[in-house]
Structure 1
Amino acid sequence: MTGLMARRLTIENTLSWKRLEMLRDANDGEGPLAEPLRALRGRLDLTNVGLMGHSRGGRGVAWQAADIRAADLPRGVRLRAAVPLDPADLAVTAHDLDARMLAQPVCTPG
């Protein structure tokens, strides 16, 4: 993986986790989304989160779901599913993704 691709995936990963933090805070009645999302307060189960992405987003989802990034998840969030749809350039090394993710099926249109 090139340095540019790794940097891009790291940035996208950080943004995804920040969004989950904001949803968690709104669910707790805190943060900038608390008022706009007040109807969701206390209704979100962030211990059962799934990610889905297509093409480059599919590769990003697979990258984010790797065990080596589990410690990066926001407090109170548990990733339970990842669905990479037709991921772009999934030819990666074990250094990029853990072995468990490399063995997972991928949804690719027939």
Structure 2
Amino acid sequence: MVDSLQFLRMEPVESSLMIRCEATEAPHQFDMATCKNQIAGQIEEHQCREVVFDLVGVKILSSRFLALMAAVQQLEVPVWVESPTPEIVKLLELTRYDAVIKVRAPVV
């Protein structure tokens, strides 16, 4: 099991919570409840109105990481992915996660 703080960096930027994945492959084993609680705490503490997952450099997303992004969306804040690769955009479309997670500035 991977400690979420080892691969996620959370930083409030204006009214957004920017979450950067510090790996080229989002881990498939991590404590999702702990991650979601950490994100919820940051949203509340900094009064963030949206969450942005910055995927610069990330080439592969695990199903567990996709589920984390969907779980964050259930916190009633808009969720965006920023700078995903074309393959990740296609994955979001195929899994229909693009209905709840919006894409911002895809990498071409």
Higher strand share: 2
Alignment TM-score > 0.5, same fold: no
TM-score, scaled relative to structure 1: 0.39
TM-score, scaled relative to structure 2: 0.39
Higher helix share: 1
